Amino acid sequence: MKVYFKNIYQTISTILIGMSITFRHMFQKKVTIMYPEQKLQLPERERNRLFVNMDDCIGCDQCAKACPVSCIEIETIKAVPGDIVGKTGTTSQGKKKALFVPKFTIDFAKCCYCQLCVFPCPTECIYMTDVFEFSSFTRDGLLYEFTDLTPEQAAEKRKKADEFAAEQLKKKELAAKEAAEKKAVAPPAVKPAEEPKKDTKPENNETKES
């Protein structure tokens, strides 16, 4: 019987202690916010999800080389003469674009948000944003593709580049063949005969007196 009443006392006392803490905090200043309706202001130098402005990307691959976890993959296609890369063929800083970028993917499942890829970019096309809510149920959902070329456009640019390279190689081989033929037809150069060397040693005609 004693144990029975002891258990009742402990139950009531425990509830009262918990409720006293609750009531005490009800009249204090709130330290939490109604997330996600309300959000705290991020610091000025936050490091969150990356973004790539493809209008300024020149395909230099510097960001991928600087990445310590190899989460950036870039493929490029050389532009043929007369072809315009992007909308204007130049970046916003006036730098000429000579490479198409059919693939620019960032795997945010690997990214460690170190920001080392941002600094070597010569056109400042890759930078950190304030977006930090991008969770996904699958790993593929964290693989972001930034290229502005469709697969059909990329295949067309790759075909044109291959055709131009083959044409240039053919011209080079033809020029080498013509040079070899001219060399074979041309008469051999006749080496001029060398003039006999004159004896410059003075003759001693004087007789020695005995």
In tens, the pLDDT along 20-58 reads: 888 887 887 777 888 888 888 888 888 999 999 999 999
Identify the pLDDT of residue 207.
Answer: 46
pTM: 0.69
Identify the pLDDT of residue 166.
Answer: 93
- Compute CA distances 207 → 147, 201, 202, whole Å: 102, 17, 15
Identify the pLDDT of residue 190.
Answer: 58
Answer whether 107's CB lies under 8 Å from 29's CB: no
Distance of CA 124 to the CA centre of its chain: 11
CA quadruple 99, 103, 106, 110: dihedral positive or negative? negative
Edge-to-edge strand ranges of the sheet holding 143-145: 72-78, 99-107, 143-145
Q: How confident is the model at residue 208 (pLDDT cuts 50, 70, 90)?
A: very low
Helix/strand/coil percentages in the chain, nearest 5 = 30, 15, 55
HSE value, Cβ hemisphere, 13 Å, CA-based, for 13: 6
Q: In the predicted model, what is the mean pLDDT of residues 107-120?
A: 95
pLDDT over 50 at 160, yes or no: yes
Identify the pLDDT of residue 22.
Answer: 86
Condensed to tens digits (0 to 9), the pLDDT of residues 61-73 reads 999 999 999 999 9
Q: Cα–Cα distance between 130 and 124 in angstroms, integer?
A: 17
The rounded percent of the chain whose pLDDT value lies above 90 is 56
pLDDT over 70 at 210, yes or no: no
Which domains does the chain carry? 47-181 (3.30.70.3270)
Answer whether 97's CB lies under 8 Å from 15's CB: no
β 99-107/143-145 pair status? antiparallel
Rg, the chain, Cα only = 40
pLDDT over 80 at 197, yes or no: no
Helix, coil or strand: residue 74: strand
Indicate the range of 47-56, 88-97, 136-145 predicted with least confidence.
Answer: 88-97
Q: Cα–Cα distance between 105 and 75 in angstroms, integer?
A: 9
Q: Which of 110, 115, 101, 109 is nearest to 50 (CA)?
A: 115
